[in-house]
Chain A
């Protein structure tokens, strides 16, 4: 049975350091929430506060209707009925795969044949049947991750917590690990809260996205909504909007506005409107894929830049560019390199977000 998870004004402290500062968040039953932030943002502490390994100094943590942490109440981890997958999996070196799954069942009082049956089913669901009698130290990273997942799901937790679910895996294994987690979600309908520093992982696995920095919650909402409309330059930066351009606001309509790009005769760009007044400055932020690179054409009104470096990545090419009057820019273009270093190119903007300066 899946339960909602709700935090209200949670503050966590280590000595004098405030790791989590007045965070309020909730995720509905059966949904999945990504906690995204750089290291030191407090995302892991928040997860540990939900798990019960960190006691908030203030605020309330609720699982469904049950208060598990507040001023008066603190429910220890073993009584919260949660599943947790550690970043490095935290498997027990002296036990077999099957024993990992049996342990939580035993502690929850599941008996005899039922315990064995549940374990067998779970191992089968995660493709671990063949490995059931092996010691976990002999398993590959991907297999270890599935064992940790099986252990966490063993007694039908009310919510599943994942700490950097795929960061310990190679790039190739990542996709299959994400698939395993998604499959488990679909089968059980469990509520998921996970921590990540990689916005791609957050997008792949989350229904909702909460962006944290220095212990504060910066933005929370459905993943697409947050990804497409970051609320601040800092959130945009954490979501992969690498490029910054300073622009002037020319005019605006009810839901769009027209900006003048930096550099003489560089042209204009039309972006979703926020509330800026004409003739003020705006900061434009773009993802590398939103910058199109082309030959300098006949059109006079174009943003020009010089290629200062490039990185051929197989499916795509990453260009490092220097505009006439901007910070260095990065563009990712599909296909092999088409421009040499030193070449002058014309840039077209496919989409961007704007912030006041």
Chain B
């Protein structure tokens, strides 16, 4: 395996296919982002930094920038600090139910940030379920009511970042030989010292990567500041860009949105490039054996208390908010105690009759399904046409991953500029139609198709294709008879992953939505802004249920290959699959 590059097959793919794929990817990725950079640097038709100066001269923008930096930095600090501890506990100790804890880290899959924010407010907000229960029990004495504004934003962004940091720590620790720490213990180091002297130096690159990813994801997030920040007067760069586009139609404010998006995108690119370098330079070669059962660090008398604390944290952070959301959706009036007499399905019936909700459901379903099909197809084409080791084969996948690293807000503005203007020939604009959203989703989630399929292709023994060729099968026939069956599980996983991610997408569609075009995320946000708490909760619950269903299918799919190839343990079965990790890194 070391010498023969797996998946490299004689002949490769036809040049026309490679050219076509390159053109499509360039059109989806390079063109809109390039257009954004170009337009922002030429606000009046010539090169000038005036747009940047102009947008930064506003005090409100500078405040938003400050808020973004501070909230992201704090959220990153909290998320990485707790994520390392959780990752270490799961990877290296005899914590009870470690496997379950690792799986629960995947929770952002079914819980998009803005839904989490909504649920959080339903639980702990000023009129939340927990305060009302508390008040009923304690006759109105004290519970903090300060979850709106900056504090809430930091907290919720940190919750969102924690799984990213935890999963990265987990996978890094599973590559670092646990025996190194033992050698330090025998040499006379206590457990903490051994961790500091041996494991931490090897963990730094991953921690830096986690910090960078959480920071970019936090700074790119729109849902949390929109739901929790703005009501408390705490706006960030993403909500600022949103207000430029949504509450004004002047050219000046559009120019400002472009300039600010370009700056945000550049900032994210710098951070991601820095951690990319860091990972490449710091990746020390390790023996890479996860500890055997005998090598786990015994927690002794801390075992149960720690497990209980983690379970409690999960209940407080995830379960109670979700239950509160469900209760709010099921009660007649806000603030009612969740007693049988107060329960009703009225909110759900009302949502089902709301025109915007019906439209959103319809649009989200077909746009997500089509985007999933398109990404699966395009991902397959990219994967199949980049099996060599040349420049093209390295550049194209990197290009395909670019929009996912770009903040969603930036992608949306880039697509308005790139594909939202009047198209030649047909003489119509995609702006204000669901097609523009579809196109932006294809770009944004393209990486979900490319990476898993490329990984699956490298696992395909080239000898299988060679054997088919020797038996007389042509290129297409081989693709159909040998390659496609091998890729089927990965293709299905891609489809589901794109579908469920698109289904709860908010950031991009919030900027691309129009009066007759909306998505589930946008509809939830609008209902929330209108103050219709019951309908908001009901629609959010529906959204979570649909996403959870798709996620359950996806999890089942990931376990399938393991069951079929019993005895040959594969990554996807034993630990959270790569696709999930990618999703956890999302900064939607």
Contact = CB atoms under 8 A, between A and B. Distances in A.
B97 interface: no
Interface in B198-241: 198, 201-202
Contacts of B293: 14-15
Contacts of B189: 78, 107
Given A93-B284, A94-B201, A108-B188, A77 B289 contact: no
Given A76-B190, A77-B185, A78-B188, A94 B289 contact: no
Nearest to A79: B188
Interface string B426-463: 00000000000000000000000000000000000000
Interface string A89-115: 011111000000001100110000000
A104 B189 CA distance: 8
B294 A86 contact: no
B294 A88 contact: no
Contacts of B187: 78, 103-104, 107, 151, 154-155
- Sorting the interface of chain A by its residue count into under 10, 10 to 19, 20 to 34 or 35 or more gives 35 or more
A353 to B, nearest CB: 34
B179 to A, nearest CB: 3
Interface string B266-304: 000000000000000000111101000111001000000
B177 interface: yes
Interface string A35-62: 0000000001100100111110000000
B186 A55 contact: no
Q: Max chain A CB contacts within 10 Å: which of B187, B191, B201, B294?
A: B187
A38 to B, nearest CB: 16
A108 to B, nearest CB: 5
Contacts of B143: none
Given A86-B179, A86-B183, A155-B188, A53 B286 contact: no
Contact of B294 (A44, A80, A148): A44
A205 interface: no
A90 B294 contact: no
A93 B186 contact: no
A196 B295 CA distance: 18
Contacts of B581: none
A93 B294 contact: no
A137 B183 contact: no
B182 interface: yes
Contact of A14 (B183, B190, B287, B294): B294
A104 B186 CA distance: 8
A92 B198 contact: yes
Contacts of A45: 294
Interface in B145-201: 177, 179-180, 182-191, 193-194, 197-198, 201
Contact of A90 (B190, B284, B287): B287
A15 B96 CA distance: 11
A19 B294 CA distance: 10
Nearest to B300: A55
A92 B182 contact: no
A84 B294 contact: no
A103 B184 contact: yes
Nearest to B181: A90
A220 to B, nearest CB: 22
A323 interface: no
A78 B198 contact: no
Contact of B188 (A14, A48, A51, A107): A107
B183 A84 contact: yes
A14 B296 CA distance: 10
Contacts of B287: 88, 90
Nearest to B179: A90
A88 B186 contact: no
B183 A90 contact: yes
Nearest to B286: A93
A92 B183 contact: yes
Interface centre among B180, B188, B285 (most CB of A within 10 A): B188
A223 interface: no
Interface string A143-162: 00000100110110000000
A86 B182 CA distance: 9
B439 to A, nearest CB: 46
Contact of B186 (A14, A78, A92): A78
Nearest to B188: A107
Nearest to B285: A137
A78 B190 CA distance: 6
- Residue of A51, A103, A152 contacting most chain B CB atoms (<10 Å): A103
Contacts of B182: 51, 53, 77, 84, 86, 90
A77 B186 contact: yes
A82 B183 CA distance: 10
Nearest to B201: A94
A70 to B, nearest CB: 16
B294 A151 contact: no
Given A45-B294, A107-B188, A88 B202 contact: no
Contacts of A44: 294
A90 B185 CA distance: 12
A137 B298 CA distance: 29
A137 B201 CA distance: 15
A87 to B, nearest CB: 8
Contacts of A104: 186-188
Nearest to A81: B188
A88 B183 contact: no
Nearest to A83: B186
Contacts of A94: 201-202, 284
B470 to A, nearest CB: 34
Contacts of B186: 51, 77-78, 80, 82-84, 104, 152
A93 B285 contact: yes
Contacts of B193: 107
B324 to A, nearest CB: 37
A78 B183 CA distance: 10
B184 A88 contact: no
A48 B184 CA distance: 14
Contact of B185 (A15, A54, A76, A151): A76
Contacts of B202: 93-94
Nearest to A152: B186
Interface string A164-195: 00000000000000000000000000000000
Contacts of B289: 88
A128 B298 CA distance: 35
A86 B180 CA distance: 9
B487 to A, nearest CB: 36
A94 B182 CA distance: 16
Contact of A88 (B177, B194, B285): B177
Contacts of A151: 183, 187
Contacts of B185: 52-53, 76-78
A84 B295 CA distance: 14
Contacts of A93: 202, 284-286
Contacts of B184: 92, 103
Nearest to B180: A90
A19 B191 CA distance: 24
Nearest to A107: B188
A80 B182 CA distance: 13
A86 B197 CA distance: 18
A90 B177 contact: yes
Contacts of B194: 78
5 contacts: A45-B294, A51-B186, A77-B186, A78-B187, A86-B182
Given A48-B294, A76-B190, 16 more contacts: A14-B294, A51-B182, A52-B185, A53-B185, A77-B182, A78-B185, A78-B189, A79-B188, A80-B186, A82-B186, A83-B186, A88-B177, A90-B177, A90-B182, A103-B184, A104-B186
The 7 closest A-B pairs by CB, nearest first: A90-B179, A104-B187, A107-B188, A77-B185, A84-B186, A90-B183, A93-B284
Interface of A: 14-15, 19, 44-45, 48, 51-55, 76-80, 82-84, 86, 88, 90-94, 103-104, 107-108, 137, 148, 151-152, 154-155
